[in-house]
Every structure is written in C-alpha cells, then in structure tokens.
Amino acid sequence: MPWSNQNGGGGPWGGGGGNNQGPWGQGPKRPRGGRGGPPDLEDIIRRGQDQLRNIVPGGFNGGVAVIIAAVLVVFWLFQCIYIVQPDERGVELRFGQPKEEISTPGLHFHFWPMETVEIVKVTVQQQNIGSTSASASTGLMLSGDQNILNVEFSVFFTVIDPKAYLFNVENPAETLQQVAESAMREIIGRRPAQDAFRNNRQPIETEVAAIVQGTMDRYNSGIAVTAVTIQDVAPPRDVADAFEEVQRAEQDKQRLVEEANQYANQKLGQARGDAAQIREAAAAYKDRVVKEADGEAQRFTAINEQYSKAPDVTRKRLFLETMEQVLKNSKKVVIDEKQGVVPYLPLNEIGKPARQGG
C-alpha cells in the first residue's frame, strides 16, 4: 500500500501525511515570504529588476550603466573644476603636497581626487581683539602705572604668501590674535594708563604693529600687517565709576591749570607791553630833551656871537624879548605917555574877546 494512503496520507511509521509532510513524519513546512517568516531575498531582487525594466526601456544592463557612468563623469568634472574670485588665490595640492604655481582669479581645472585645492582670501582682513571678540577677558591688560585696562583693538592684515599662510602655521587667525594680544600687553605694560586713554595711542599702535609683523615673519606665516588700531580703552566694569571720578578730577585739574596759565600769560603780556611803552616814551623824552638842549646851546652861541659884535643892540633886544615873554599874558597895558594915547580907551576890555576867540 502506498504511503500516501496510510491513515489519511501518513507514513508507514505513523507520521503525519499530506502535501506538507515528508515520508519520515517531520512537521509541515511554513510558506516562504509569509507574515511570520523571513523575507524571500530572491523574490525581492526579482521584483526590483522588474521595476527597473519598467523605468528604463532599454533594460538594466545597458541604459542604467550609461546613466550611472554619465552621473559619475559629471560629478568628477564638478570636483575637478573650480573658480578663484578676484580677491582670492588658490593653492593646488597633489597627493597632499602643494604645487609651485598659485592659481590666479578665473576658472581652473585639476585632477580630483589626486589633486585638491585650497582657496585663500588675499584682501585686507580685520582681526578684532578685546571685549568685541568672543572672549571678553582677552582685552584686560595691566598698564605701567599698575592700572587695569580693557583695551579693544583691531589688527588689519593681508595674505601675501598663500602657501606659507596655509601650511607654515596651523591656525593663522588664532596665532595672529595671540601674537597681537601679547604685543599689546607688552606695550601697555611699559606705559602709563593715560597714554592709552588720551592722545598717545599712535605710538602704541605703531609699536604693536612692528612687534606683530616681526613675530609673524619669524613664523613665516605669509601675513603682512597693514595697521593696528585701538578702538576703545576703558576701565573694568567693577571700577568704572571710581575711575570716571578720577578722570573728571584730572580734567578739572587740567582745566584749572590751563586757566591759570592763560591768566598768567595775559598779565605777563600786558606787563611786557606796558614796559615796552614806558621804554619807548623814556627814549623819546630823552631825545627831545637832548635836542632841546642842543638847540638852546646853539641859540646861546649865536646870541653870544651877535653880542660880541653889537653888545648894546643885542642887550636891548634881549631885554625886549624877555619882557615880551614875561608880560604877554599880563592884563596890564603899558602906555608911553609921550605917544599921546587917549586914556578913556578901555584897552583892558579889548583883549578879552580876542583871547576868548583864540
């Protein structure tokens, strides 16, 4: 009797029969891809191939390969072509080693991935140091007269050697900031605080720029420092009020000293002017007196000569001139009786209107 007919399809050893049982009585097999079993990988691959054939009319082996190759070529070209802007320079690297030539502005090509490129900005850049930077404590410095200052300043620089800038210093921006901060601390530490607060900032900026440039040159960083500018100098917040009071007192002191100097200069100038005027007046008086004395002496000499020639005439003339001088302001009128003048004539009154009108 066949095994399929034993006890409803079981085997000769009493195992289960049917289509899902083996001849040795093992249990029924579960259908593949069912809800309770693992996925059928071959079925998934077959369905994926069917979907690709529906998408690509030419078939998977021909069209898809062409598309993938085209995509790869476009991607490779995209990586190989780069553009350098007018304010930039490019440094190409072949297997990590920089090439000699520098890429100027324009469109360039290199063989990626064997070659790569680094782009560097070569226009003037600004590095801010102090409270405006990320770390607010970087601007705190000690001056030469033991005052704590919060100095905000900027370093302007350009990249003159892109290869040195990229490969000689690990982090050029951070190195420049640390060098500039150290240089500013050194210069501020040599000077009193008033030099930084008032009109002596230019020498400080010049010295700091020289120190930073020298240090960056020793590092061969490829950086040229164009300027260092102090933006602001202020005391720390904890002592700001007291410091402002001291500053106002200093300003009042300076104002009072300037006013005193101005008053002293005004008085001194006036005194010097008066002294000069007195000296000039004395000199003029001296000249006048000397000249008058010379004139009198010459007049006396001339009269003496005339007197020696005609003594009587000269004596009479001198008498008349002297009497004229003596009596010219007198109100008395002397009349010679021999002249026959009428005595009723009011000669005294005649002279009054004449003197008043004169």
**pLDDT tens, residue by residue, 193-218:** 888 877 678 889 999 999 999 999 99
Task: Report yes or no on whether pTM surpasses 0.85.
Answer: no
Last residue of a domain, one of 213, 234, 255: 234
Same domain for 155 and 115?
Answer: no
Q: Of 18-27, 120-129, 235-244, which range is least confident?
A: 18-27
Same domain for 63 and 163?
Answer: no
> Domain tally for the chain?
3
Q: What is the pLDDT of residue 347?
A: 60
CA 254 to chain centre: 27
Same domain for 213 and 261?
Answer: no
Mean pLDDT score across all residues of the chain = 79
Question: Is 206 a member of any domain?
Answer: yes
User: Domain limits at 280?
Assistant: 244-326
Last residue of a domain, one of 120, 143, 158: 120
The pLDDT tens digits for 155-175 are 999 999 999 999 888 888 899
pLDDT of 55 higher than 80: no
Q: What is the pLDDT of residue 202?
A: 87
The pLDDT tens digits for 242-287 are 878 887 898 899 999 999 999 999 999 999 999 999 999 999 999 9
